[in-house]
């Protein structure tokens, strides 16, 4: 158990283990959605709820393990980074299946969380922090595809604007909390220590303004396949 909870630095981004981890979750996502599509609607809803709550519980469990081990740092370990925050509230979508939650979560997760899969800032490998990071981040992406194909929800052009506004509200909240806590949630005060795409956008606060400028075009790019499909139909 100590090995499973003990942190290490055995994971290297853009390595074989990184590629295999991504391929594994792609396989899991395809299998999960394919099997669920063959089930009754009631069973589909049950599977969606179990999946969503398992993502949320994993984040909460990770927080309690930090507390148990005595190395919890409120400036770093509260579940307030965007991916952790979305993971905690994702059951709202699975339980209600309301479109407003889907359209806001869709772009935030596919734009933000997917980047965490491409440029992970997690160095642990084959321990709880590793499984927590990858199950939560990959799970969020898989769940939004699950909602798209199983709940048959599709974003529209207004969804882009709603998701952008939700991101602004979240950013303002994090700016405020970071000011009082001395923290760096949502990376509003500095870039993450690991190499990420933010490194391409300059130092603070330049990278924040660059992200603000490119986020809507990025959302629109994610929306493009849905737009083309609607136009064709």
| Other CB atoms within 10 A of residue 13 CB | 15
Closest CA to 52 of 154, 140, 150: 140
Mean pLDDT confidence for 147-171: 96
**Confidence at 147, pLDDT banded by 50, 70, 90:** very high
Judged against a pLDDT cut of 90, whether residue 220 lies above it is answered with: yes
- The total number of residues written for the chain in this structure: 233
Digit-coded pLDDT (tens) for 28-51: 999 999 999 999 999 999 999 999
> What distance in Å separates the CA atoms of residue 137 and residue 122, rounded to the nearest whole number?
11
Q: What is the pTM of this model?
A: 0.93
Tokens for 197, please give them. Answer: 């795409």
Contact 42, 34 (CB under 8 A): no
Task: Cis check for the bond before 152: say yes or no (omega within 30 of 0).
Answer: no
pLDDT of 121:
85
Mean pLDDT confidence for 196-219: 87
Judged against a pLDDT cut of 80, whether residue 221 lies above it is answered with: yes
Tokens for 47, please give them. Answer: 């599977």
> What distance in Å separates the CA atoms of residue 7 and residue 31, rounded to the nearest whole number?
30
Judged against a pLDDT cut of 80, whether residue 233 lies above it is answered with: no
Lookup result for tokens 């009631």: 42
Average model confidence (pLDDT) across the chain: 92
Lookup result for tokens 């905690």: 88
Digit-coded pLDDT (tens) for 62-99: 999 999 888 899 999 999 999 999 999 999 999 999 99
Mean pLDDT confidence for 163-179: 96
């Amino acid at each position: 158990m100590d090995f499973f909870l003990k942190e290490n630095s055995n994971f290297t981004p853009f390595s074989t283990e990184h590629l295999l981890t991504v391929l594994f979750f792609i396989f899991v996502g395809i299998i999960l959605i394919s099997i669920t599509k063959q089930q009754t609607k009631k069973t589909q809803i049950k599977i969606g709820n179990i999946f969503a709550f398992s993502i949320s519980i994993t984040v909460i469990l990770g927080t309690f393990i930090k507390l148990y081990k005595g190395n919890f740092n409120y400036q770093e370990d509260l579940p307030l980074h965007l991916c952790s925050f979305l993971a905690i509230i994702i059951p709202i979508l699975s339980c209600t299946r309301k479109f407003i939650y889907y359209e806001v979560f869709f772009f935030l997760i596919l734009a933000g969380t997917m980047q965490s899969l491409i440029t992970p800032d997690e160095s642990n490998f084959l321990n709880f922090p590793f499984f927590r990071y990858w199950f939560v981040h990959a799970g969020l992406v898989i769940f939004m595809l699950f909602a798209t194909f199983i709940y048959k929800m599709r974003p529209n052009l207004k969804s882009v604007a709603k998701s952008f506004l939700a991101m602004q509200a979240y950013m303002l909240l994090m700016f405020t909390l970071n000011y009082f806590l001395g923290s760096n949630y949502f990376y509003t005060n500095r870039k993450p220590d690991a190499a990420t795409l933010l490194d391409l956008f300059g130092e603070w606060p330049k990278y924040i303004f660059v992200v603000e400028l490119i986020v809507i075009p990025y959302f629109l790019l994610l929306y493009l396949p849905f737009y083309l499909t609607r136009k064709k139909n």
